Amino acid sequence: MKAMSLTTALLVLAATLPVAKVEKSFTDKTWKRTGKYTLVSPGKDTKRPGLFVWLHGAGGGPSYAGNFDALAKTAAKWKLATLAVQVPGHAATWPATNESPDVHVGYLRDLLHDVVLKEYELDDERLVFVGFSAGSTFLMGDYLPAHATSYRGGTVMLCGGGPPIVAMPLGSNALPAGFNDRFKMYVHITIPDFLYQQTMHGLGYWQMRGATPEVVTPKTGGHCDFDLTKTLEAGLTKVLGPDVK
């Protein structure tokens, strides 16, 4: 029997991204929390797409994948697969609490590294974390303080944010040289938004560490009161450059 080449073996091991969206369940290995995720490719002919990770603040129920088709359409302009992740364990929202600071951080990390980035052929240098409301609070104050230096791509944080509420590893240290070139940050929040001051505190934490986020603060509009598609496109352009289609 003819030996399989390394290239062929890698192609066999890499699962094909679904052209039509699929929803699956995942249980993390540390906390044993279970949640759902929805995934779709940007198109059947796209080779090694990047990844758009969507975290909705009220993502404990079916709304975690609300507007999924519209989000995927926008992400596809940058050749990004779209992943929407549900808050695990029937929790109502993403941000950490003093009682369980690491549960959701560990869950998202395991889902990305043990399943999505491991099983699918993705460009891990074009990874974009997108938060909406409390999803942004989780990214700014919980997940990214722990893991941002491990990634290339960036983050788009919309109508939310905040500083860490628990001590993170190296959480107050200066960011490594070149971080702002490898991982770009874009924040959009209106000044009347009730999360505005909290978000400014979170930005202060990142700026203290040497990050240079682009911050857009319209003077009018309530909580998450903006055109989502246009704002996403502005954020993706900041992080990845002009769309590629």
* Residue burial 111-130, b: 16+ Cβ < 10 Å; e: rest: bbeebbeeebebbeebbbbb
pLDDT tens for the chain, 245 residues long, are: 444 443 443 344 467 888 889 999 999 988 899 999 999 999 888 889 999 999 999 888 889 999 999 999 999 999 999 999 999 988 889 997 766 668 899 999 999 999 999 999 999 999 999 999 999 999 999 999 999 999 999 999 999 999 987 755 545 689 999 999 999 999 999 999 999 999 999 999 999 999 999 999 999 999 999 999 999 999 999 999 998 76
Is the pTM higher than 0.95? The answer reads no
Distance CA 174, CA 170 (A): 8
pLDDT for residue 102: 81
Counting every residue, how long is the chain?
245
Q: What is the DSSP string of 2-52?
A: PPPPHHHHHHHHSBPPPSS-EEEEEE-TTT--EEEEEEE-S-TT--S-EEE
Contact 32, 63 (CB under 8 A): no
Q: Which two tokens stand for residue 22?
A: 């699929």
Spell out the residues 6+ positions from residue 68 whose beta carbon is closer than 8 angstroms to its own.
Answer: 21, 38, 40, 54, 82, 84
Contact 211, 180 (CB under 8 A): yes
Distance CA 61, CA 152 (A): 30
Residue 15's DSSP bridge partners are: 120
CATH of domain 22-240: 3.40.50.1820
For residue 208, give the 3-state DSSP assignment: helix
Which 3-state string (H, E, C) describes 82-120? EEEECCCCCCCCCCCCCCCCCHHHHHHHHHHHHHHHHHE
Residue extents of the structural domains in the chain: 22-240
